[in-house]
Amino acid sequence: MAQIYRFYPKKKSIFNLKINLLLLIINVLCYILFSVIIYFNVNLLDYIALKPSNILQGKYLWTFLTSMFMHGGFFHLFVNMFSLLFIGNLAEKILGKKRFFIFYIIAGLFAGISFVASSFLLPSDFNTYAVGASGALFGLIGLFMIITPNLPVSIMFIPIPIKMKFAAPIMLVLLWLISILGNVPVGNTAHLGGFVIGLIYGLYLKNKYKNKTRYISKYFS
């Protein structure tokens, strides 16, 4: 059935492994590897995690990418991978392997750029490290808010499913409140950056593939 609502025709490939599963595996392996590296030398964190002060000095630019596959603890990893398991599988079916992977990376990179740019407005973030897949995940959430606005989803602390068009902004606000009231380090500006790029890509798809997006929206209502 996935072929019915895909945006792009499925191409034959020698790679049968799902991209989403591959991303899950890479995230887990990188978490283990990076945790071991930092355990033996915490100073190497600068080589892995995204830090605005480093980037603005032109140092460790590759951390825009590596930080996407690093997490701040097992719970952080579990929550993100649990979310990716469901959100990513649906995104891969709709977009196809190649475009799903490219969009996931772009959303994560844009989230990192947003975090660095926000350090000018939020000086407290200037020397703060950012890690995690949540920026890319919010890119997928922003995408689904546009192309599947009535998709029912469950979110934290709310026992009943909520339509994606309402759930997406609620998730952003909830995380922002948790970070402020609970003094919990959450990359809210990175989430917002990923979310915005997801909205933009969703609008692009909706304009270019009007019939398919209409069908997808109706199918997941």
Quickly state the pLDDT bin for 14 (edges 50, 70, 90). very low
Within-domain flag for 14:
no
> Which of the residues 67, 71, 83, 191 is marked catalytic?
191
Q: Say how far apart CA 52 and CA 39 lie, in whole Å.
A: 22
> Which of the residues 13, 53, 134, 221 is marked catalytic?
134
Give catalytic status of residue 134 as yes or no: yes
**Token digits of residue 79:** 């929550």
Within-domain flag for 10:
no
Name the phi and psi angles at 81, rounded to 5. Answer: -70, -35
The overall average pLDDT reported for the chain is: 87
Cβ-contact 181, 165 below 8 angstroms: no
Within-domain flag for 6:
no
User: How many domains does the chain divide into?
Assistant: 1
CATH number of the domain encompassing residue 146 = 1.20.1540.10
Within-domain flag for 173:
yes
Cβ-contact 27, 80 below 8 angstroms: yes
pLDDT digits (tens, 9 = 90+) for 19-68: 999 999 999 999 999 999 998 998 899 999 999 999 999 999 999 999 99
Half-sphere exposure (Cβ direction) of 2: Cα atoms closer than 13 Å:
12
Give catalytic status of residue 191 as yes or no: yes
| Residues listed for the chain | 221
Within-domain flag for 3:
no
What pLDDT is stored for residue 3 in this prediction?
44
pLDDT digits (tens, 9 = 90+) for 180-220: 776 666 778 899 999 999 999 999 999 999 888 888 888 88
Within-domain flag for 12:
no
Within-domain flag for 56:
yes
What pLDDT is stored for residue 9 in this prediction?
54
Determine the structural domain holding residue 86 and report its residue range. 19-219
